[in-house]
Amino acid sequence: MQFSKLAESYERLEGVSSRLKMIELLTGTLKESGAGEISKIVYMTQGTLLPPFEGIEFGVAEKMAQEAIAVATGFTKGQVEREYKKSGDLGLTAQKLRSESKLKSMRQSSNTVSEVYDTMMRVAKTSGPGSKEAKIKMLANMFASSTPLEAKYIARYPLGQLRLGVGDATILEALSSMATGGRGAKAELEAAYNICSDLGTIAETLVSGGMPAITAMHVSIFKPIRPALAERLPTAEEILERMNGIAAVEHKYDGFRLQVHKSGKKIRLFSRRLEDVTEMFPDIIEATLNEVHEEKIIFEGEAIAYNEATKEFLPFQETIQRKRKHGIKEKVEELPLHLFAFDLMYLGNKDWLREPYKRRREELERILAKGKRILPTTKIITSSPKALETFFEEAIAEGLEGIMTKDLEAPYIAGARKFSWIKLKRSYKGELSDTVDLVIVGYFLGRGGRAEFKFGGLLGAVYNQKRDMFETISRIGSGFTEKQMVELKELLDKIKVKSKPARVDAIVEPDFWVYPKYVVTVMADEITKSPTHTCGRERQEDGTDVGYALRFPRLVGETAIRQDKSAEEATTTKEIIEMYGEQKKVGVKGS
């Protein structure tokens, strides 16, 4: 496929205001892609070169892209920068300056998608001395041989600013529509995605082997599995009731979730977002080599600094901060991390996901029986609410976050939030039982004292999985430090869009829309019903439409943005409705 064709379809995608239209456009593009090309188109549309777990980064800074535009168009660096300041979008800058280029066009033949992708891959892989100049040269060549519209996307792609608003579920639905003409294959495609986390591979497999090849896919080492997630309930009774009367109850550690993949002496570690974080944890690698003797295994746990002498857990934020300050090596010696393992997904040559929890856990405990740094989470099995509560209180007293209960009979449900895992946390006293994670979909300008920051708050949304849409739930105007306001404004300015993105459902109009990318954690007093927000919005008997909103929302956390969550991993509409139900029950009890 010619890159010009893809650029045209991106431009149309950017302009659509309905999700269905988006799927239709995307399906059309995917259908037209040739063999070996569909994965490249999928990755490009996601704004990446490969799935995040491959750890490939473009390594292109804004200044480099600006310089490449200058080289390719004959404008000075100053001119490019001024133009960029005006539009705030390097894509538009590239498009404009390419069309007004002062140089004779070097365009001999047009680029294919593969040529653009392969060049971007070379840009990403170029490192070491002289790499900056080499990257600028490659980018400049691409700009010089592109049309203005192509230049727009060539500039945005390596900067992570495509602004297409296409999510994983959107791509899966387009693939399903390509295969069956509708949503019929979506569940199977999603199941395959949940065990390999690689949409490009899914697309290639679909093209080469059809749906039978998709359903035959299985877990493999070094391809991370999308994590199982937990639901929440406020009391021991309700939790046990949901678990059919008996459950395993584990300590809940506030650490860093790690998925460990081991084959012989080769080990890779993946974060909750499935990024390769192997380099960050040499101590966990060493401990795995020393203590886990299975040849091939995938297991999961929470890494946390634990002082064996004082039996104290260190808040993970602190560990990470100190790690940064003193460098990884010193930190390892001073404060080795422990990995509290809680699940087993693969062993020998066998996929363990379908085994019931009790079998997986038994095997995990056998494997880690002699573990010192890598050990199973502390757990009990109980059918008594009283025992569950006592275990919870003890966990809190030890400085932990709470507990995780697990259904003894349930498989490992990759990539989904189900009641087979239920969490109970400390942060609960009449207030909302937990914080919520909201996607920023827009922001407001500052007024009064905030005017100097040109930032007056965020428009936050939750994710409705069923609709694959972001529904607004709150305006967030407090809890920000001055530094956070400046940082947020800078980040959001880079992802501004002209009109409401197709996958955002909103009644409130912010001063600026941004495409759904960043997640923030918010605390609120309660969830209320509201006519101004679209979260869970439903027609009432009196004919009015009412959704859910947060009362007294405030930003929490030192760093404003949650780096470990993508837009689709924000709190869901379903969770908000459940939390509202729980809140009502608690309210009744307390009154």
- The catalytic site residues sit at 252
Q: How far is the CB of 252 from ligand ATP (least distance, A)?
A: 4
Nearer to ligand ATP, 173 or 300 (CB): 300
460 forms beta bridges with 440, 474
Distance CA 373, CA 365 (A): 14
| Site residues for ligand ATP per CB under 6 A | 229-230, 250, 252-253, 257, 272, 302, 342, 377, 404, 423
Nearer to ligand ATP, 423 or 529 (CB): 423
Distance CA 225, CA 196 (A): 6
Residues 80-92: b if buried by 16+ CB within 10 A, e if exposed? bbebbeeeebbbb
The answer to whether 367 and 292 are in contact (CB under 8 A) is yes
Q: How far is the CB of 388 from ligand ATP (least distance, A)?
A: 14
The answer to whether 453 and 421 are in contact (CB under 8 A) is no
The answer to whether 259 and 300 are in contact (CB under 8 A) is yes
Q: How far is the CB of 68 from ligand ATP (least distance, A)?
A: 38
Angle between the 148-156 and 131-144 helix axes, to the nearest 10 degrees?
150
Q: How far is the CB of 456 from ligand ATP (least distance, A)?
A: 27
Reduce the DSSP state of residue 65 to 3 states and report it. helix
Q: How far is the CB of 300 from ligand ATP (least distance, A)?
A: 8
Tokens of 553: 């929302």
Nearer to ligand ATP, 409 or 538 (CB): 409
Distance CA 263, CA 265 (A): 6
The answer to whether 73 and 143 are in contact (CB under 8 A) is yes
Rg of the chain on CA atoms, in Å: 25
Nearer to ligand ATP, 252 or 331 (CB): 252
All residues at 6 or more sequence positions from 161 whose CB lies less than 8 Å from its CB, including other chains: 47, 89, 90, 91, 494, 495
Q: What is the DSSP string of 483-494?
A: HHHHHHHHHHHT
Backbone angles phi, psi at 170, to 5 degrees: -65, -45
Strands (E), 308-449: 312-313, 337-347, 350-351, 374-376, 379-382, 402-406, 417-425, 436-444
Q: How far is the CB of 569 from ligand ATP (least distance, A)?
A: 6
Nearer to ligand ATP, 14 or 434 (CB): 434
Backbone angles phi, psi at 315, to 5 degrees: -55, 135
**Closest residue to ligand ATP, based on beta-carbon distance:** 257
In terms of C-beta density within 10 A (0-12 exposed, 13-18 middle, 19 or more buried), how is residue 53 classed?
A: buried
Nearer to ligand ATP, 257 or 500 (CB): 257
Q: How far is the CB of 415 from ligand ATP (least distance, A)?
A: 11
Nearer to ligand ATP, 229 or 380 (CB): 229
Q: How far is the CB of 227 from ligand ATP (least distance, A)?
A: 6
The answer to whether 211 and 185 are in contact (CB under 8 A) is yes
Nearer to ligand ATP, 90 or 422 (CB): 422
The three-state (H, E, C) secondary structure of 130-153, written as one string: CHHHHHHHHHHHHHHCCCHHHHHH
The answer to whether 276 and 268 are in contact (CB under 8 A) is yes
Q: How far is the CB of 537 from ligand ATP (least distance, A)?
A: 24
Sign of CA dihedral 29, 30, 35, 41: positive
Tokens of 510: 């912010």
Nearer to ligand ATP, 495 or 519 (CB): 519
Nearer to ligand ATP, 21 or 423 (CB): 423
The residue among 207, 209, 275 whose CA lies nearest residue 50 is: 275
Q: How far is the CB of 466 from ligand ATP (least distance, A)?
A: 18
Tokens of 187: 């569940």
Sign of CA dihedral 26, 29, 35, 37: negative
Using CA atoms of 393, 399, 405, 411 in order, give the dihedral in degrees to the nearest 10.
Answer: -170
Backbone angles phi, psi at 237, to 5 degrees: -60, -50
